[in-house]
């Protein structure tokens, strides 16, 4: 049986994990930011057949010159990586087909080796760095 896809809810993020597979530690501020990210995006949740979170991802469409792609890993991402990336790629393909004039950008946090790999596997190419409050972010670009 394949992954179960549904519209994302901000509560799905509470099951997210960090790069080492540990549960995310949320503060009121960071969770509030993540809730706004889900609410302002076309966002989906992928779950394994047993109900465990694989990933939450979306496309933020609020920027005038690009689409911003984001993901949060769940405990089941490593085990279901390929179908999760295929599913998210399909969503992104459909959105970019409607807005081929806008490139999709993915921002990867400092030291985000897994995020950079996922971006490359999803058709993104490295496009430099951009400063941010948490340090320089790696920028990846994907054309429609």
Homologous superfamily of 4-142 in CATH? Gcn5-related N-acetyltransferase (GNAT) (3.40.630.30)
Q: Which two tokens stand for residue 93?
A: 């393909």
Do the beta carbons of residue 16 and residue 72 sit within 8 Å?
yes
Q: Is the pTM value of this prediction over 0.75?
A: yes
Do the beta carbons of residue 57 and residue 43 sit within 8 Å?
yes
Tokens 């302002």 found at: 40
Q: Which H helix or E strand runs over 4? A: strand 4-7
Q: What percent of the chain has pLDDT over 70?
A: 99
Q: What average pLDDT does this structure show over 37-50?
A: 93
Domain ranges of the chain: 4-142
Q: With left for phi above 0 and alpha for psi between -120 and 50, is residue 128 left, alpha or beta?
A: left
pLDDT tens, 87-119? 988 888 998 999 899 999 999 988 888 889 999
């Amino acid at each position: 049986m394949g992954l179960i896809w549904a519209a994302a809810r901000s509560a799905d993020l509470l099951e997210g994990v960090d790069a080492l597979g540990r549960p995310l530690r949320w503060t009121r501020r960071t969770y509030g930011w993540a809730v706004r990210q889900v609410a302002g995006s076309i966002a989906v949740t992928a779950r394994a057949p047993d109900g465990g979170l694989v990933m939450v991802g979306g496309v933020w469409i609020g920027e005038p010159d690009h689409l911003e792609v984001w993901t949060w890993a769940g405990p089941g991402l490593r085990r279901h990586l390929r179908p999760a990336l295929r599913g998210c790629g399909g969503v992104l393909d459909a959105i970019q087909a409607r807005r081929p004039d806008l490139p999709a950008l993915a921002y990867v946090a400092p030291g985000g080796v897994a995020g950079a790999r996922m971006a490359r596997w999803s058709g993104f190419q490295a496009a430099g760095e951009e400063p941010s409050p948490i340090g320089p972010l790696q920028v990846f670009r994907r054309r429609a």
